[in-house]
Amino acid sequence: MTLPADRRVPLVVGFDVEPDGLDIPRHERRPWTGFERTMEIANALRPRLADALDAPVRFSWFLRMDPQIKDVYGSTTWAAETYGAELDTPRAHGDEVGLHPHTLRWREGRGGWVAAVDDDSWVQECVRVSFDSYQSAFGEQCQSHRFGDGFMSESVVGVLRELDVRADLTLEPGRPSYTMESIDGPLPDQFDVPRVPFRPDPTNFRQPARAEAAAGEQLWMLPLASADPDRALPAARRLGRRLRHRGRPKHRPVLLWAPWPSRLLWDIVARDVDAGALTVLPFIVRADTLLRADWAGRFESHLVALGSHPLGRRAALVTPSAVVADLESTA
């Protein structure tokens, strides 16, 4: 299904607000310099993008408020308390603040932090603690969420439903299952996750719910914007990808700091928007990503270039809650 010609393409640019790196010292309260830098970049970009897109610009900020943050910083609400003034500015511009829980806990025998995604009770606790902390810090219920490490499960979806969450931005279409030494258990296969927003099936978060089950559902999965990057890759890599992923999707989430020409990046995305394969464009950036000057430069260049691309004339940079409101009004 293609978008009507007169309808703006919703584009979400969100930032994971967290410490610089996951393997952080346990008893050293280091500042979140990645977030501090990202806020500077976003504040400088906002007016430039608003002029280029001829529309208001609203970013999204996903905070860590889980048990690891309490273990290290003494309080799950540390970020809200420490950076409250910094967060007031984007909130005044209509930005959305959501949550980004991780399942990290300290393992002496493993020499550091381990993401315990295989412990369902711990996973649920991390989600609930985060939402309780958000309510305590901001005096309102959190509406948008994205789980850490790309993890998702039916159990997490159940908790999000129970908490009346409207939008989840965890899923990464085209990403295979994989394992890491710092993660207990494999991360879920997302090769066949839909690339467009959907209400999740209660028994399979990767698939849309049937019509009768979706009728009363308010949780929407907003998969990250994905596309086939072949046009941006050298010939040898293109051939290798085709052989490696024969018979399986070749699209992957698009990174806003990818080392591609900006025009080509938006051409690749726009092609799938025009074909109806993409209807909403969520992009996520870890805040500490922009500590690298070259990656920060690409991020800024790509977003500024959107203003002069044909896609930019049809795009609106909005929040996840605004996307869901639009989806529900047109469903």
At 212-228, the pLDDT tens digits run 666 677 999 999 999 99
Per-residue model confidence (pLDDT) at position 6: 58
CB atoms inside a 10 Å sphere around CB 153 = 15
- Gap between the Cα atoms of 123 and 98, Å rounded: 18
- Give 3-state DSSP helix, strand, coil % of the chain, rounded to 5: 45, 20, 40
Q: For the chain, what percent of residues have pLDDT higher than 90?
A: 76
Task: List, as one string, the DSSP characters of 197-257.
Answer: -BPEETTEEEEEPPHHHHTT---EE-PPPEE-GGGGS-HHHHHHHHHHTTTS---EEPPTT
- Gap between the Cα atoms of 69 and 141, Å rounded: 20
- Gap between the Cα atoms of 97 and 17, Å rounded: 10
- Gap between the Cα atoms of 303 and 256, Å rounded: 8
Average pLDDT across the chain, whole number: 92
Per-residue model confidence (pLDDT) at position 236: 77
Both structure tokens of 84: 């409250």
Binning pLDDT at 50, 70 and 90, where does residue 23 land?
A: confident
- Gap between the Cα atoms of 49 and 36, Å rounded: 20
pLDDT average, residue stretch 43-47? 96
Per-residue model confidence (pLDDT) at position 213: 65
Does position 328 have pLDDT exceeding 70, yes or no?
yes
- Gap between the Cα atoms of 296 and 41, Å rounded: 8
Per-residue model confidence (pLDDT) at position 214: 66
C-alpha distances out from residue 207 to 145, 153, 194, 220, Å:
18, 12, 7, 12
Are residues 250 and 295 in contact, defined by beta-carbon separation less than 8 angstroms?
Answer: no
More confident residue, 230 or 289: 289
Name the least confident of 111-120, 121-130, 135-144: 111-120
Per-residue model confidence (pLDDT) at position 1: 44
Does position 94 have pLDDT exceeding 90, yes or no?
yes
Does position 4 have pLDDT exceeding 60, yes or no?
no
Does position 2 have pLDDT exceeding 70, yes or no?
no
Task: List, as one string, the DSSP characters of 76-135.
Answer: TTHHHHHSHHHHHHHHHTT-EEEE----EEEEGGGTEEEE-TT-HHHHHHHHHHHHHHHH
Per-residue model confidence (pLDDT) at position 61: 98
User: Which residue ranges form the domains of the chain, and what is each CATH number?
Assistant: 9-330 (3.20.20.370)
Does position 178 have pLDDT exceeding 90, yes or no?
no
Q: Map residue 280 onto helix, strand or coil.
A: coil
Phi, psi values for residue 177, rounded to 5°: -65, 145
The vertex-326 CA angle with 55 and 307, nearest 5°, equals 25
Per-residue model confidence (pLDDT) at position 101: 98
Binning pLDDT at 50, 70 and 90, where does residue 239 land?
A: confident
How many whole angstroms from its chain centre is CA 4? 26
